[in-house]
A and B are shown apart, each in its own frame.
Chain A
């Protein structure tokens, strides 16, 4: 298997990984801090090599619906944006959830609310996990904390999206998107042929042959009895995802008396915080959720039985801390530390915050 080790930005890794994992189409719009995704794809010209389509759409709104169309027809389609653009996409995302369309999208978060700032933040945790669109639905959320994970999670997002016929997202941020690290790019996987798509995705609108009923990709159902059943089926699907797809990482938790829970770039910073705290004699470990939906509720509940307290370090005003508190269910104190407005905290700040609440 061919392995290449290169130095590149997180955003660039997304683009390379997309081409290599057999993505059929990228439809996107420029926005800081993630424009490198479409710029890299434009430079790579995959339409000449793998046949992957790259379209600069007229807006984020158009982008998500191009993804909807292609993914509804069984193809691996994705887009990427940053917080205000992803806000625009929320309608398309709930439509994908309702119609069970396996679109993939990336949010390289920046500070908000509104147009906000171009500096990094983790302020879209709620938007990603609580659903910014209407109705009862969930999106599969993967939170990379390295350029390597940016590269690895593209194929994983597509695999999960198609396995469950559900939209899936990579929740990154301006730190991971812009920082440069060594990355082993995944080997090239060819795009599926039309026949493979038709065989693997009998639910998709690929053109109706004589031997099946017509396919209708829709989220509309006016009869409440049927709509209730559809919603119940969606909830059962989400329960299955919760049971089978939780991913997380623990560092130095074996003898830990305190835990820092952090995701994405905050987790990278917290790694250093754990090191500093240990040097000062504090037995602290790091628990890093990798999937934000499904959230590692069980694992955090278990962890709360072993520690005296938990500090949630996230670059927002307090979002993931709610899910941690739900999991901990009052067993031990849970506090939150975050910076706002695009400020990225130093590792020492997290250590100070930990000491304050110990």
Chain B
């Protein structure tokens, strides 16, 4: 039985902390970090990446194109 495993890389200097990715994610992978970037925006990070299936909802809704989404089929 194969399933999809995903991972995300966030460009934290490009992120503005709008949180639309958090709302879009069906797996509750992403949360607002407790830090700000050089522009003063709090950015997002993956806090629950084991649950990520690489659906790319976050990357698709991100207005700034901050998120690179990876997906790999994994045999159980």
A contacts B: CB pair < 8 Å? no
